[in-house]
Protein backbone atom coordinates (compact mmCIF):
# COMPACT_ATOMS: atom_id res chain seq x y z
CA UNK A 1 0.00 0.00 0.00
CA UNK A 2 1.38 3.37 -0.97
CA UNK A 3 2.10 6.12 1.50
CA UNK A 4 -0.50 8.31 -0.20
CA UNK A 5 -3.23 5.71 0.29
CA UNK A 6 -2.19 5.30 3.93
CA UNK A 7 -3.12 8.91 4.56
CA UNK A 8 -6.75 8.07 3.69
CA UNK A 9 -6.95 5.68 6.65
CA UNK A 10 -6.98 8.72 8.91
CA UNK A 11 -10.58 9.43 7.95
CA UNK A 12 -13.76 7.34 7.88
CA UNK A 13 -15.01 6.69 4.29
CA UNK A 14 -18.43 8.17 5.14
CA UNK A 15 -16.79 11.30 6.48
CA UNK A 16 -14.64 11.43 3.34
CA UNK A 17 -17.73 11.45 1.11
CA UNK A 18 -19.48 14.00 3.27
CA UNK A 19 -16.53 16.39 3.12
CA UNK A 20 -16.29 15.95 -0.64
CA UNK A 21 -19.98 16.69 -1.18
CA UNK A 22 -19.68 19.78 0.99
CA UNK A 23 -17.05 21.15 -1.36
CA UNK A 24 -14.20 20.63 1.13
CA UNK A 25 -12.05 18.41 -1.09
CA UNK A 26 -8.96 20.64 -1.21
CA UNK A 27 -9.17 21.47 2.48
CA UNK A 28 -9.44 17.78 3.33
CA UNK A 29 -6.42 16.93 1.16
CA UNK A 30 -4.25 19.36 3.12
CA UNK A 31 -5.55 18.07 6.46
CA UNK A 32 -4.57 14.52 5.48
CA UNK A 33 -1.06 15.54 4.46
CA UNK A 34 -1.32 15.70 0.67
CA UNK A 35 0.79 18.47 -0.86
CA UNK A 36 -0.84 18.11 -4.27
CA UNK A 37 -4.59 17.84 -4.74
CA UNK A 38 -4.19 15.71 -7.87
CA UNK A 39 -2.24 13.12 -5.87
CA UNK A 40 -5.04 13.05 -3.29
CA UNK A 41 -7.67 12.41 -5.97
CA UNK A 42 -5.57 9.60 -7.44
CA UNK A 43 -5.36 7.95 -4.00
CA UNK A 44 -9.12 8.24 -3.50
CA UNK A 45 -9.77 6.59 -6.85
CA UNK A 46 -7.24 3.80 -6.20
CA UNK A 47 -8.54 3.01 -2.70
CA UNK A 48 -12.29 3.45 -3.15
CA UNK A 49 -12.85 3.37 -6.91
CA UNK A 50 -14.37 6.84 -6.80
CA UNK A 51 -13.60 9.52 -9.31
CA UNK A 52 -13.75 13.19 -8.52
CA UNK A 53 -17.06 13.54 -10.40
CA UNK A 54 -18.57 10.57 -8.52
CA UNK A 55 -18.20 12.15 -5.11
CA UNK A 56 -18.66 15.83 -5.77
CA UNK A 57 -20.04 16.41 -9.26
CA UNK A 58 -17.39 19.06 -9.92
CA UNK A 59 -14.84 18.63 -7.16
CA UNK A 60 -12.78 21.66 -6.28
CA UNK A 61 -15.48 24.01 -7.58
CA UNK A 62 -18.44 25.48 -5.67
CA UNK A 63 -21.08 22.80 -5.13
CA UNK A 64 -24.42 23.21 -6.90
CA UNK A 65 -27.41 24.46 -4.94
CA UNK A 66 -29.10 21.58 -3.17
CA UNK A 67 -32.83 20.94 -3.20
CA UNK A 68 -34.21 20.31 0.27
CA UNK A 69 -37.68 18.77 0.32
CA UNK A 70 -39.68 19.08 3.54
CA UNK A 71 -39.73 16.19 5.98
CA UNK A 72 -43.07 14.39 5.87
CA UNK A 73 -44.82 13.64 9.16
CA UNK A 74 -48.39 12.36 9.12
CA UNK A 75 -50.59 12.26 12.18
CA UNK A 76 -52.89 9.20 12.41
CA UNK A 77 -56.34 9.67 10.90
CA UNK A 78 -59.12 9.44 13.49
CA UNK A 79 -62.68 9.06 12.24
CA UNK A 80 -65.17 11.29 14.01
CA UNK A 81 -68.05 9.45 15.65
CA UNK A 82 -71.16 10.86 13.98
CA UNK A 83 -74.44 9.01 13.55
CA UNK A 84 -74.88 8.95 9.79
CA UNK A 85 -78.07 8.20 7.91
CA UNK A 86 -76.77 8.17 4.34
CA UNK A 87 -74.56 5.81 2.35
CA UNK A 88 -70.82 6.34 2.37
CA UNK A 89 -69.45 8.51 -0.44
CA UNK A 90 -66.03 9.24 -1.93
CA UNK A 91 -64.89 12.84 -2.28
CA UNK A 92 -63.05 13.73 -5.49
CA UNK A 93 -60.77 16.75 -5.92
CA UNK A 94 -60.47 17.27 -9.67
CA UNK A 95 -57.44 19.46 -10.33
CA UNK A 96 -54.67 20.49 -12.69
CA UNK A 97 -53.27 23.52 -14.54
CA UNK A 98 -51.33 24.71 -11.49
CA UNK A 99 -48.57 26.10 -13.76
CA UNK A 100 -46.02 26.43 -10.96
CA UNK A 101 -43.30 28.86 -12.01
CA UNK A 102 -45.51 31.03 -14.20
CA UNK A 103 -45.53 34.79 -13.52
CA UNK A 104 -48.36 37.26 -14.14
CA UNK A 105 -49.14 40.58 -12.46
CA UNK A 106 -51.11 38.68 -9.78
CA UNK A 107 -49.44 35.24 -9.77
CA UNK A 108 -45.99 34.07 -8.73
CA UNK A 109 -44.41 31.30 -6.62
CA UNK A 110 -45.72 32.74 -3.35
CA UNK A 111 -49.26 33.07 -4.67
CA UNK A 112 -49.03 29.52 -6.02
CA UNK A 113 -48.20 28.20 -2.53
CA UNK A 114 -51.01 30.24 -0.95
CA UNK A 115 -53.54 28.89 -3.43
CA UNK A 116 -52.40 25.31 -2.87
CA UNK A 117 -53.07 25.88 0.84
CA UNK A 118 -56.45 27.36 0.02
CA UNK A 119 -57.36 24.16 -1.87
CA UNK A 120 -57.01 22.26 1.39
CA UNK A 121 -58.97 24.73 3.50
CA UNK A 122 -61.85 25.09 1.04
CA UNK A 123 -62.09 21.37 0.34
CA UNK A 124 -62.17 20.47 4.04
CA UNK A 125 -64.91 23.06 4.67
CA UNK A 126 -67.09 21.27 2.11
CA UNK A 127 -66.17 17.80 3.38
CA UNK A 128 -66.96 18.73 6.98
CA UNK A 129 -70.47 19.80 5.98
CA UNK A 130 -71.15 16.59 4.06
CA UNK A 131 -69.76 14.40 6.82
CA UNK A 132 -72.71 15.48 8.96
CA UNK A 133 -74.92 13.47 6.57
CA UNK A 134 -72.90 10.36 5.71
CA UNK A 135 -69.41 8.87 6.17
CA UNK A 136 -66.56 9.98 3.92
CA UNK A 137 -63.36 8.01 4.39
CA UNK A 138 -61.64 8.33 1.00
CA UNK A 139 -60.35 11.27 -1.04
CA UNK A 140 -59.65 10.70 -4.73
CA UNK A 141 -57.48 13.26 -6.58
CA UNK A 142 -57.67 13.03 -10.41
CA UNK A 143 -54.97 15.39 -11.71
CA UNK A 144 -54.92 15.89 -15.48
CA UNK A 145 -51.62 17.72 -15.79
CA UNK A 146 -49.86 21.04 -16.43
CA UNK A 147 -48.68 21.16 -12.83
CA UNK A 148 -45.68 23.26 -13.91
CA UNK A 149 -45.30 25.94 -16.56
CA UNK A 150 -42.35 24.41 -18.40
CA UNK A 151 -39.78 26.15 -20.61
CA UNK A 152 -41.32 26.06 -24.10
CA UNK A 153 -41.45 29.65 -25.45
CA UNK A 154 -44.26 28.67 -27.83
CA UNK A 155 -46.42 27.95 -24.76
CA UNK A 156 -45.81 31.36 -23.22
CA UNK A 157 -42.69 30.39 -21.23
CA UNK A 158 -40.55 33.30 -22.44
CA UNK A 159 -38.31 35.62 -20.45
CA UNK A 160 -40.26 37.54 -17.84
CA UNK A 161 -43.17 35.08 -17.71
CA UNK A 162 -41.42 32.29 -15.81
CA UNK A 163 -39.57 32.42 -12.49
CA UNK A 164 -37.27 29.44 -13.00
CA UNK A 165 -36.52 26.44 -15.21
CA UNK A 166 -38.64 23.32 -15.31
CA UNK A 167 -36.36 21.32 -12.99
CA UNK A 168 -36.73 23.94 -10.28
CA UNK A 169 -40.43 24.35 -11.00
CA UNK A 170 -40.84 20.69 -10.10
CA UNK A 171 -38.35 20.40 -7.23
CA UNK A 172 -38.76 23.78 -5.53
CA UNK A 173 -42.44 24.52 -6.10
CA UNK A 174 -44.69 21.65 -7.22
CA UNK A 175 -43.24 18.77 -5.16
CA UNK A 176 -43.15 20.58 -1.78
CA UNK A 177 -46.65 21.99 -2.31
CA UNK A 178 -48.24 18.73 -3.44
CA UNK A 179 -46.46 16.52 -0.91
CA UNK A 180 -47.67 18.83 1.84
CA UNK A 181 -51.21 18.97 0.46
CA UNK A 182 -51.62 15.20 0.07
CA UNK A 183 -50.18 14.50 3.52
CA UNK A 184 -52.46 17.09 5.11
CA UNK A 185 -55.40 15.38 3.43
CA UNK A 186 -54.16 11.98 4.63
CA UNK A 187 -54.58 13.21 8.19
CA UNK A 188 -58.24 13.91 7.40
CA UNK A 189 -59.04 10.77 5.38
CA UNK A 190 -58.41 7.09 5.87
CA UNK A 191 -57.28 6.81 2.24
CA UNK A 192 -55.98 9.28 -0.35
CA UNK A 193 -55.64 8.07 -3.94
CA UNK A 194 -53.94 10.24 -6.57
CA UNK A 195 -54.18 9.62 -10.33
CA UNK A 196 -51.78 11.73 -12.40
CA UNK A 197 -52.05 12.30 -16.17
CA UNK A 198 -49.68 14.22 -18.48
CA UNK A 199 -50.51 17.71 -19.70
CA UNK A 200 -48.94 19.54 -22.61
CA UNK A 201 -46.68 21.98 -20.72
CA UNK A 202 -43.08 21.02 -20.01
CA UNK A 203 -42.96 19.08 -23.27
CA UNK A 204 -41.44 19.46 -26.72
CA UNK A 205 -43.13 17.86 -29.72
CA UNK A 206 -39.87 16.28 -30.87
CA UNK A 207 -39.35 14.52 -27.52
CA UNK A 208 -40.73 11.08 -26.60
CA UNK A 209 -44.24 11.09 -25.14
CA UNK A 210 -42.88 10.08 -21.74
CA UNK A 211 -40.54 13.11 -21.63
CA UNK A 212 -43.17 15.30 -20.07
CA UNK A 213 -42.61 17.41 -16.98
CA UNK A 214 -45.80 16.10 -15.38
CA UNK A 215 -44.58 12.50 -15.52
CA UNK A 216 -41.26 13.48 -13.92
CA UNK A 217 -43.23 15.35 -11.27
CA UNK A 218 -45.41 12.29 -10.55
CA UNK A 219 -42.34 10.03 -10.38
CA UNK A 220 -40.74 12.22 -7.72
CA UNK A 221 -44.02 12.63 -5.85
CA UNK A 222 -44.46 8.86 -5.67
CA UNK A 223 -40.86 8.39 -4.55
CA UNK A 224 -41.36 11.02 -1.85
CA UNK A 225 -44.71 9.99 -0.33
CA UNK A 226 -45.95 6.96 -2.27
CA UNK A 227 -44.83 4.57 0.47
CA UNK A 228 -46.83 6.31 3.19
CA UNK A 229 -49.65 4.22 4.61
CA UNK A 230 -53.00 5.19 3.14
CA UNK A 231 -51.49 7.11 0.19
CA UNK A 232 -51.54 5.75 -3.37
CA UNK A 233 -49.90 7.57 -6.30
CA UNK A 234 -50.98 6.20 -9.70
CA UNK A 235 -49.15 7.44 -12.82
CA UNK A 236 -50.77 7.29 -16.28
CA UNK A 237 -48.46 7.73 -19.26
CA UNK A 238 -51.22 7.77 -21.89
CA UNK A 239 -53.01 10.98 -22.88
CA UNK A 240 -56.19 9.62 -21.31
CA UNK A 241 -57.51 6.54 -19.56
CA UNK A 242 -60.34 5.02 -17.54
CA UNK A 243 -60.20 5.13 -13.74
CA UNK A 244 -62.83 3.33 -11.65
CA UNK A 245 -64.29 4.65 -8.41
CA UNK A 246 -66.88 2.32 -6.89
CA UNK A 247 -68.19 0.77 -10.13
CA UNK A 248 -68.25 4.05 -12.04
CA UNK A 249 -65.97 4.59 -15.04
CA UNK A 250 -64.27 7.99 -15.24
CA UNK A 251 -62.45 8.99 -18.42
CA UNK A 252 -59.66 11.49 -17.63
CA UNK A 253 -57.55 13.48 -20.09
CA UNK A 254 -55.93 16.91 -20.29
CA UNK A 255 -57.89 17.91 -23.44
CA UNK A 256 -54.97 19.61 -25.24
CA UNK A 257 -55.10 19.40 -29.02
CA UNK A 258 -58.84 20.11 -29.20
CA UNK A 259 -59.68 23.19 -31.33
CA UNK A 260 -61.77 26.13 -30.13
CA UNK A 261 -64.50 27.65 -32.25
CA UNK A 262 -64.89 31.39 -31.62
CA UNK A 263 -63.17 30.89 -28.28
CA UNK A 264 -65.56 28.12 -27.20
CA UNK A 265 -63.99 24.66 -26.67
CA UNK A 266 -67.18 22.68 -25.92
CA UNK A 267 -67.94 21.96 -29.59
CA UNK A 268 -64.56 20.31 -30.08
CA UNK A 269 -64.80 18.56 -26.71
CA UNK A 270 -68.21 17.19 -27.68
CA UNK A 271 -66.81 15.58 -30.83
CA UNK A 272 -63.75 14.20 -29.05
CA UNK A 273 -65.73 12.69 -26.16
CA UNK A 274 -68.08 10.96 -28.57
CA UNK A 275 -65.11 9.30 -30.33
CA UNK A 276 -63.28 8.44 -27.10
CA UNK A 277 -66.47 6.95 -25.64
CA UNK A 278 -66.51 4.41 -28.45
CA UNK A 279 -62.74 3.87 -28.43
CA UNK A 280 -62.52 3.19 -24.68
CA UNK A 281 -65.53 0.93 -24.44
CA UNK A 282 -67.81 3.48 -22.81
CA UNK A 283 -67.56 5.52 -19.61
CA UNK A 284 -69.97 7.21 -17.23
CA UNK A 285 -68.20 10.52 -16.60
CA UNK A 286 -65.43 12.55 -18.26
CA UNK A 287 -62.93 14.92 -16.60
CA UNK A 288 -60.59 17.40 -18.26
CA UNK A 289 -58.76 20.72 -18.03
CA UNK A 290 -56.37 22.66 -20.27
CA UNK A 291 -58.76 25.49 -21.22
CA UNK A 292 -58.58 27.25 -17.82
CA UNK A 293 -62.36 27.38 -17.63
CA UNK A 294 -64.55 25.77 -14.99
CA UNK A 295 -67.38 23.59 -16.24
CA UNK A 296 -69.28 21.80 -13.50
CA UNK A 297 -71.05 19.31 -15.68
CA UNK A 298 -73.92 18.76 -18.04
CA UNK A 299 -74.49 16.96 -21.30
CA UNK A 300 -71.97 17.97 -23.95
CA UNK A 301 -72.25 14.72 -25.89
CA UNK A 302 -75.14 12.36 -26.49
CA UNK A 303 -72.93 9.47 -25.35
CA UNK A 304 -71.44 11.24 -22.31
CA UNK A 305 -74.13 12.74 -20.07
CA UNK A 306 -71.74 14.27 -17.53
CA UNK A 307 -68.51 16.17 -18.21
CA UNK A 308 -66.51 18.40 -15.86
CA UNK A 309 -63.60 20.73 -16.53
CA UNK A 310 -61.56 22.59 -13.89
CA UNK A 311 -60.03 26.05 -14.14
CA UNK A 312 -56.45 26.96 -13.13
CA UNK A 313 -54.50 28.41 -10.21
CA UNK A 314 -53.28 31.28 -12.40
CA UNK A 315 -54.95 34.69 -12.43
CA UNK A 316 -54.52 37.44 -15.04
CA UNK A 317 -53.68 34.74 -17.54
CA UNK A 318 -52.93 36.21 -20.98
CA UNK A 319 -53.13 32.79 -22.61
CA UNK A 320 -56.78 32.31 -21.67
CA UNK A 321 -57.58 35.90 -22.60
CA UNK A 322 -56.05 35.53 -26.07
CA UNK A 323 -57.29 31.99 -26.74
CA UNK A 324 -60.74 32.03 -25.13
CA UNK A 325 -61.31 35.81 -25.00
CA UNK A 326 -61.92 35.65 -21.21
CA UNK A 327 -59.62 35.76 -18.19
CA UNK A 328 -59.78 32.64 -16.05
CA UNK A 329 -61.14 32.66 -12.48
CA UNK A 330 -58.76 30.52 -10.38
CA UNK A 331 -60.52 27.44 -9.01
CA UNK A 332 -60.53 23.64 -8.96
CA UNK A 333 -63.50 21.26 -8.68
CA UNK A 334 -64.63 18.98 -5.86
CA UNK A 335 -67.52 16.51 -6.04
CA UNK A 336 -69.03 13.51 -4.30
CA UNK A 337 -69.39 9.97 -5.67
CA UNK A 338 -72.17 7.69 -4.40
CA UNK A 339 -71.79 3.92 -4.96
CA UNK A 340 -75.19 3.68 -6.71
CA UNK A 341 -75.98 7.23 -7.84
CA UNK A 342 -72.64 8.30 -9.26
CA UNK A 343 -71.79 11.99 -8.91
CA UNK A 344 -74.22 13.48 -6.41
CA UNK A 345 -72.91 17.02 -5.74
CA UNK A 346 -70.22 19.32 -7.03
CA UNK A 347 -68.59 22.63 -6.11
CA UNK A 348 -65.99 25.03 -7.42
CA UNK A 349 -63.14 25.30 -4.94
CA UNK A 350 -62.15 28.95 -5.02
CA UNK A 351 -58.41 29.34 -4.50
CA UNK A 352 -58.30 33.13 -4.18
CA UNK A 353 -58.55 33.90 -0.48
CA UNK A 354 -61.39 36.28 0.26
CA UNK A 355 -60.48 39.46 2.12
CA UNK A 356 -62.44 40.45 5.25
Q: Which residues on neighbouring strands pair with residue 147, listed in sequence order?
A: none
Q: What is the dihedral angle through the alpha carbons of 213, 215, 219, 222, rounded to the nearest 10 degrees?
A: 110
Q: Which of the pair, 250 or 296, is modelled with greater confidence?
A: 250
Domain contains 168: yes
Whether 49 is covered by a domain: the verdict is yes
The pLDDT value given to residue 56: 44
Non-local CB neighbours of 317 within 8 Å, separated by 6+ positions: 104, 107, 292, 327, 328
Do residues 118 and 255 both lie within one domain? Answer: yes
| Closest residue by Cα to residue 231 from 296, 170, 163, 185 | 185
- Is residue 270 classed as helix, strand or coil in its secondary structure? helix
Is the model's pLDDT at 314 over the cut of 80?
yes
51 and 124 both lie in a single domain: no
Within the chain, residue ranges assigned H as helices are 3-8, 13-21, 25-31, 37-48, 52-56, 109-130, 166-168, 175-186, 213-225, 266-279, 318-324
pLDDT at 84: 65
pLDDT in tens, 271-284: 899 899 999 999 99
DSSP β-ladder status, 89-94 and 136-143:
parallel
In order, the DSSP letters of 67-129 are P-PPPP--PPP--------SPPEEEEEEB----BTB-BTTBSHHHHHHHHHHHHHHHHHHHHH
Same domain, 127 and 233: yes
Q: Return the minimum-mean-pLDDT range out of 7-16, 138-147, 190-199.
A: 7-16
Contact 6, 46 (CB under 8 A): no
- What confidence tens digit (pLDDT) does each residue in 33-65 have? 888 777 888 787 777 666 555 444 443 333 445
Q: Could you tell me which of 136, 161, 142, 141 has the C-alpha nearest to residue 151? A: 161
Residues 50 and 130 in one domain: no
Is 82 among the domain residues?
Answer: no
Same domain, 42 and 137: no
Mean pLDDT of all residues in 228-257: 96
| pLDDT tens-digit map of 153-163 | 878 788 888 98
CATH assignment at residue 152: 3.60.21.10
Cα gap 182→40, rounded to integer Å: 47
- Is there a single domain that holds both residue 145 and residue 251? yes
224 in the same domain as 134: yes
Which residue from 287, 280, 282, 279 is spatially nearest to 307, judged by alpha carbons? 287
The reply to whether 39 and 98 lie within a common domain is no
Tell whether 321 and 253 lie within a shared domain: yes
Q: Is the pLDDT of residue 23 over 80?
A: no
- pTM, two decimal places: 0.79
pLDDT at 320 over 50: yes
Q: 52 and 104: one domain? A: no
Report if residue 63 sits inside a domain: no
Which pLDDT belongs to residue 301?
Answer: 60
Instruction: Please give the Cα distance from 238 to 210 (Å, whole number).
Output: 9
How sure is the predictor about 219, in pLDDT bands with cuts at 50, 70 and 90? very high
Instruction: Give the Cα separation of 160 and 141 in Å (integer).
Output: 32
Q: Is residue 62 situated within a structural domain?
A: no
Query: Into how many domains does the chain fold?
Result: 2
Question: What's the confidence (pLDDT) of residue 176?
Answer: 95
pLDDT at residue 172 in the model: 95
Q: Give the model's confidence band at 18: pLDDT under 50 very low, under 70 low, under 90 confident, else very high.
A: confident
Averaged pLDDT score across all residues of the chain: 85
Mark 107-142 as b/e (b = at least 16 C-beta within 10 Å).
bebebbeebbbbbbebbbebbeebbeebbbebbbbb
The vertex-238 CA angle with 301 and 189, nearest 5°, equals: 85
Q: Average pLDDT, stretch 291-317?
A: 82
Range of the domain at 37: 3-56
**Domain check: are 196 and 261 in the same one?**
yes
Q: Domain for residue 115, yes or no?
A: yes
Co-location of 52 and 131 in the same domain:
no
Mean pLDDT of 189-216: 90
Amino acid sequence: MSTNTTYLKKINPDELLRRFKNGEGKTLAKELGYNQYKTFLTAVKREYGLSFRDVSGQAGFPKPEEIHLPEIKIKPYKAKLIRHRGDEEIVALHCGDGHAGKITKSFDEDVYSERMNEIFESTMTIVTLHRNMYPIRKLWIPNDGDNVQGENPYQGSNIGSVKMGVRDQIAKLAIPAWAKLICRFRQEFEEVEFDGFPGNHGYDRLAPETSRADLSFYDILRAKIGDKKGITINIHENFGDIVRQWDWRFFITHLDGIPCYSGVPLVGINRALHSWHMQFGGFDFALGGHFHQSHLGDEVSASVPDFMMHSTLVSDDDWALKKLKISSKPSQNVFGIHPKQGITWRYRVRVVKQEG
